Structure 1
């Protein structure tokens, strides 16, 4: 229980609006998302392939996220990882909701009310086999897959496209 609470609090602080700089401060063009997301296809289990290092996932191995539709139409989030020191499972439960109904590609996620952060789907495999998530200030970045691994050529192509969007491939850590 203590590990779960700590993981949830870390996730909370990470999505706190005061912790992120506004996109206008980055000097970068607006972050482009995918044109359309079918949320029903997006739900389910995802495995983290790579990410920008962030303090709330420090010591996390084998990170994954599970998304499920809630009765109110929003999305239940369950993030899990294995602690690198003791091997115990850490998890954080959250809540996500769409903020751009035209595309369903821009969401907010909260692990502790009233704090929330951006979750923008900037790339998505044709068959929803992978997804790339970023934030408009380019501070957070994840590559997710339906499987625990990803082909090296696909991974390299994703990083190249992310670079064109203002993300730094040199900061990405692959699992």
Structure 2
């Protein structure tokens, strides 16, 4: 990804916190998982579904890979394929600072002065499925350790979104290559 495209991608992330469609009722409280274990969250997650956001337009086969940098900082590598599971690869690197239980502040190298909220709302007991949101309700994701989840896990994830004021009907399903 060229520096110009990376900057545009990250500026769109900045706009996430300032404007755009809200996918949750902000009069409802949003709650991060209190017993979140950052060490168990490390590794690669496949995006199962997301709310439409400008900085991910055209992305499919999306993954996020997290690694430990120190006790309070996680490395972030987000990748996707443009327009199809075999399309051109796009990626962006950053870091996430742990700001509270289940609460992270994500910062990408191309926009070092902006830290966006990233809250883990729920992760199942095996750390195989997770739901992530942002307090302003302009983004949210269902993630899993594999590119597909069962209908039961999907229902659990959508229930978490509903409990946090999100409308699951607005989710976009993310396509991944065939296993």
TM-score range normalised by the length of the shorter chain: 0.7 to 0.9
Contact 1:43 1:66 in 2 (8 A): yes
Unpaired segments ≥5 residues, structure 1: none
RMSD: 2.3
Q: Contact (CA 8 Å) 1:64, 1:80: kept in 2 or not? A: yes
Cα displacement (A) at 1:157: 2.7
| Alignment match of 1:108 (pick from 88, 105, 108) | 105
Q: Would the alpha carbon gap of residues 137 and 42 (structure 1) be closer, same or farther in structure 2, given more than 3 Å must change?
A: same
Aligned to 1:96: 96
What is the match of residue 82 of structure 1?
81
Instruction: Report matched runs for 1:83-162 at 5 Å.
Output: 83-84=82-83, 87-100=87-100, 103=101, 105-111=102-108, 112-162=111-161
1: distance between equivalents of 2:16 and 2:155? 31
Give the TM-score, by structure 1 length.
Answer: 0.86
Higher percent of residues as helix:
1
Counterpart residue number, 1:9: 8
Alignment gaps of 5+ in structure 2: 175-179
Aligned to 1:30: 29
Alpha carbons of structure 1 residues 83 and 154: separation in structure 2 relative to 1, 3 Å: same
- 8 Å CA contact 2:42, 2:66 repeated in 1: yes
The normalised TM-score by structure 2 is: 0.84
What is the number of equivalent residue pairs in this alignment? 168
Q: Is the 8 A contact 1:16 1:116 kept in 2?
A: no
